[in-house]
Structure 1
Amino acid sequence: MAFMRKSKFRHVFGKPEKRDQCYDGLRITKTSWESTYCAVNPKFVAIITEAAGGGSFIVLPLAKVGRVPIDCPAVAGHKGAVLDVQWCPHNDNVVASASDDCTVKVWQIPDSGLVTNLSEPVVDLFAHQKRVGFIAWHPTAQNVLVSAGSDFKLFFWNVGTGEPIIEVEVPDQVWCMSFNYNGSRLACTSKDKKLRIINTHSGEIVKEEKCHEGAKPSQVVYLKDGNLLTTGFSKMSERQYALWDEKNLKKPIVLEEIDSSNGVLFIFYDPDTSMVYLAGKGDSLIRYYEITDEAPFVHYLALFQSNAPQRGIGFMPKRGLNVNSCEIARFYKLHNNGLCEVIPFTVPRKSELFQDDLYPDTAGDEPAISAEDFFAGKDATPIMVSLQGGFKSSHKEQLKVARRSNVLDKMPNRSSTIQSNNTTGSAAAAPAAAATALPPGFDPQAVLDDMRKLKLIVKAHERRIKSLEEKLAQYESEEEIEQDA
């Protein structure tokens, strides 16, 4: 008789909400980019939409269910298609978007949602030379964002100053990124079939090994215990998942075939319960697993099946779930017909008391460290909160961007020049007046952007020179050893 492993999640089941409790009439993007097209948090759902002459996404308050009007206000500031959207984990009103137009933009959404189109971001992040495909927020540091572009570069941004602080060059297009629990490492999968681990403070690639053999995009998520879970394809185009030890990527701990469908398998991970949900684009299934420290480590639980394939999918953070109904996950599934279906996953319990075994303390919305601390080399684990009685979002100030002071920012305005004329005489004020007489068509912002780009190029050259010097030193030392021998 086979031994049945005990698990409180064996009877998790998903039950879609009725159509009037979902979002209908959406013009979902038709791009073939391998992202989820949807991001949710405890206040809003953001969905990438089709837009003429640019890129846009809509943001709907969670309670605003039903048919979405055709003239629904959108976030419409990109000149190219939007490829990825991600909500800030520390401010439910802040969302970042990546686009085909080579930019990342960060937006502030009003509490009540949008009433008109939003075209002015809080900050534009310029550095990539080609389209920006994926973005990810740092889990514990405030205002830290990483972006990956088709120029084979990753930039770590301080969103509070609008600056790229660290630049990492990789050999090929990045398909997926995931921070570890405290944000000190970033794992990414690439088109060259390799899994890489990057030190987020130095930008150094710490480890890299071949991941899945197939050519289609693979996905990765960093688990709480430091292991990594990936999904991808075999040489025979069968879908697989693999579990890896971050200290040794040469061979997976577990490698399992799943099926022979051709949709990319997106990974949704809950670090509190160690549950993983796999949802393939074009599938009508969501499979779920529990990860433990006992062999075979990744334990299949069950699957949710519907009769419609998913075009995209969003996953609610733990603090947005209904603890009174024992809800442990909630998906927002995009259909090809313009429906966004809400699917809660619950564990049936008879008791109406708070189920503390289902809801251990979870990461709250307070950042553990500032961006400055993080870029100075500090790490911190998330600040945990209890979900007993439901989560109450902390009050947040509007995101403000304080660009670093620059000579151009310090130019006196006309009124200050007039004031200095009155106090110190026209001779002393002449240089100040001359400084304000800028040539026609002069754009200070363009000059700042050019300077920023030049700084990045110089940094990249410095890094390259350093690596060449190290190789040369290694070569010379090898020569000396040979001569001595």
Structure 2
Amino acid sequence: MSWRPQYRSSKFRNVYGKVASREHCFDGIPITKNVHDNHFCAVNARFLAIVTESAGGGSFLVIPLEQTGRIEPNYPKICGHQGNVLDIKWNPFIENIIASCSEDTSVRLWEIPDGGLKRNMTEAVLELYGHSRRVGLVEWHPTTNNILFSAGYDYKVLIWNLDIGEPVKMIDCHTDVILCMSFNTDGSLLATSCKDKKLRVVEPRSGRVLQEASCKNHRVNRVVFLGSTKRLLTTGVSRWNTRQIALWDQEDLSMPLIEEEIDGLSGLLFPFYDADTHMLYLAGKGDGNIRYYEIGSEKPYLSYLMEFRSPAPQKGLGVMPKHGLDVSACEVFRFYKLVTLKGLIEPISMIVPRRSETYQEDIYPMTPGTEPALTPDEWLSGVNRDPILMSLKEGYKRTSKIVFKAPVREKKSVVVNGIDLLENVPPRTENELLRMFFRQQDEIRRLKDELSQKDIRIRQLQLELKNFRNNPKNN
């Protein structure tokens, strides 16, 4: 019997990465030098947001996607945070609302004007305070409007209902800093990786840990739900300090289904999963490569496809939502690569080579759209619902009609000895403390000047009174 090689039939085996031309890149951007392991970039169908280097406080740029080329040094920024910005995420249902979190312990929501920023923005539409230490991660719920998750260095995950502007739940099962959060398709489960070397699957509304894995041989850094396959994929480091990925069954985390070593580099591996094509992308922080695999339901589960190579190291990557892709070019995924050394944001399109220019239905199934399936009250009451799907063929540029309305909060006051204690909130960071100190010094200087002016006025009035009394005409 003759040996015959077995070829896998896959429509994605020839997917290739295409870098945008220089005029379609974003140049001259002072990308942050912060070493926090995040992407520092967020993209939607209208805007690109990048965390930037700034002196004092934290700031980020928001640029309309059509405004490519060189960005002016004085381009308007969002600069309301008092500490470094650590994470930014666009609202999946309202395209001009972005959430940010910072070292100043706050989470803030910003509303971007339709044409982009014309001047610096310092006032957020909503400020959320609930963490006692800096906030490292924010994540929007995938099917519910106005539900936001934030993870802080106080080891807590807060669930915010933005309809009322308050935290409604707290997940308090972690014993160290939370490194990553990922939702399943309908948002009923939350997977987290943590610095305590544990992988957890949590029911977010109750905070109950459904599954927990102690990863001794595979130190987990990042975790991602693989759509509705009931599987998780983690990236991390093996006991020999090589980069590694592992595949898990979400209902049994006792042992990984498979573990696979990638290479011996030291940078973090960022995983990205496309549920429509069942493709997994692995991008290393500090190197320029993006490997991609196809995920199957049977062994060996992972099938290596190809690797996109680039000499320029990436600090982070933003990902375009499906409804922002160019379907006429058979584009199935698009990265926005942060090249810190050049101050450059470089779009990379993953393209399926096809001769036909007609719409390719086999590579563009129905995909989650821009309409929420649930309201916050429905989700909090225990309802789960799959995302509302849309076709990329018909009207995929359709904009959402939902408008964000910030909750009106009644101004509370606690007045003691004529001082409003809630108005004078204590500083949360060293930068904030310094700002408050200098502000108070200015205020003291102003009061001293005012006092000396009043002293001079009193002496003048006393002299006038004395002259008035000594005048013989007045006797």
TM-score tier, shorter chain, comes to 0.7 to 0.9
Q: Distance in 1 between matches of 2:247 and 2:76?
A: 42
> Could you list the runs of 5+ residues in structure 1 that have no partner in the other structure?
412-434, 448-485
Q: Is the 8 A contact 1:321 1:327 kept in 2?
A: yes
Instruction: Tell me the SS of whatever aligns to 2:386.
Output: coil
Separation in 2, partners of 1:36, 1:46: 11
Instruction: Give the equivalent residue in structure 1 for 2:93.
Output: 90
Match of 1:362 in 2: 367
- Match for residue 73 of structure 1? 76
State the Cα distance separating 1:438 from its structure 2 match: 9.6
**How big is the shift at 1:191?**
0.5
Q: What is the CA-CA distance between 1:443 and the residue it aligns to?
A: 5.9
Tell whether the 8 Å contact from 1:139 to 1:382 is kept in structure 2 after alignment: yes
> Which of the residues 420, 428, 432 maps onto 1:442?
420
Question: Does structure 1 residue 373 correspond to structure 2 residue 353?
Answer: no
Aligned residue pairs: how many? 419
Instruction: Show the counterpart of 2:246.
Output: 242
1:70 CA drift (Å): 0.2
| 3-state DSSP of counterpart to 2:19 | coil
Residues 278 and 286 of structure 1 are in contact (CA less than 8 Å); yes or no, is this contact kept in structure 2?
yes
Asked if 1 retains the 8 angstrom alpha-carbon contact of 2:218 and 2:244, the reply is no
**Mapped contact 2:32–2:53 kept (Cα < 8 A):** yes
Q: Is 1:113 aligned to residue 116 of structure 2?
A: yes
The Cα of 1:91 is off from its aligned counterpart by 0.9
Distance in 2, Cα, partners of 1:214 & 1:3: 31
Alpha carbons of 1:390 and 1:334: their partners in 2 closer, same or farther (altered >3 Å)?
A: farther
- Asked if 1:5 corresponds to 2:8, the answer is yes
Which residue of 1 is the match for residue 443 of structure 2? none
| Residue number in structure 2 paired with 1:399 | 404
Give the conservation status (yes or no) of the 8 Å contact 1:139–1:181: yes
RMSD: 1.9
Superposition deviation, residue 272 in structure 1: 1.1
* Residue 15 (structure 1) shift: 1.1
Does the CA contact (< 8 Å) of 2:101 and 2:138 recur in 1? yes
Conserved? CA contact 1:354–1:388, under 8 Å: yes
Identical pairs, percent: 47
For 2:201, the aligned partner's letter is: I
Q: Secondary structure at the match of 2:379?
A: helix
Asked if 1:126 is matched to 2:113, the reply is no
Query: Which structure has the greater CA radius of gyration?
Result: 2
Q: 1:292 aligns with which of 286, 290, 296?
A: 296
**1:210 maps onto 2:188 in alignment:** no
1:154 paired with 2:157, answer yes
1:333 paired residue among 337, 341, 349? 337
Code of the residue aligned with 1:46 in structure 2: it is: A
CA offset at residue 401 of structure 1? 2.0
CA distance in 2, matches of 1:3, 1:390: 41
1:406-441 CA deviation, whole Å, 9 max, x = no partner?
Answer: 6x67x9xxxxxxxxxxxxxxxxxxxxxxx9x99744
How is 1:268-279 mapped onto 2 (pairs within 5 angstroms)?
268-279=272-283
2:8 is aligned with 1:25: no
Give 2:349's aligned amino acid: P
2:240 and 2:424 map into 1 onto residues whose CA distance is: 50
Which string of whole-angstrom CA distances, capped at 9 and with x for unpartnered residues, describes residues 270-316 of structure 1?
Answer: 11111111111101100111111121111111010011111111111
Query: What's the counterpart of residue 457 of structure 1?
Result: none
Match of 2:287 among 253, 271, 283: 283
* Equivalent pair of 1:145/1:159 in contact (CA under 8 Å): yes
Counterpart for residue 478 of structure 1: none
Q: 1:234 to 1:66 in 2, by over 3 A?
A: same
Give the secondary structure class of the aligned counterpart of 1:319.
helix
CA contact (8 A) 2:95 2:400 kept: no
Task: Spell out, residue by residue over 1:165-190, the C-alpha distance to the aligned partner (whole angstroms, 9 max, x if none).
Answer: 11111111111000111001100000
TM-score between both structures, scaled by the size of structure 2? 0.85
Offset of residue 42 of structure 1: 0.6
1:211 alignment partner AA? C
Is 1:232–1:264's contact at 8 Å kept on the other side of the alignment?
yes
Is 1:222 aligned to 2:225, yes or no?
Answer: yes
Gaps of 5+ in 2: 426-475
Equivalent residue, structure 2, for 1:61: 64
What residue is the counterpart of 2:47 in the other structure?
Answer: 44
Conservation of the 8 A alpha-carbon contact between 1:80 and 1:100 = yes
Deviation string for 1:1-60 (max 9, x for gaps)?
331211100000011011111000010101100001111111111111001110011011
Superposed, 1:230-269 pairs within 5 Å as 230-269=234-273
Aligned 8 A contact 2:130 2:167 in 1: yes
Match of 2:107 in 1: 104
Name the one with the larger helix percent. 1
Structure 2 counterpart of 1:344, from 344, 349, 352:
349
Note if contact 1:160-1:403 (Cα within 8 Å) is conserved in structure 2. no
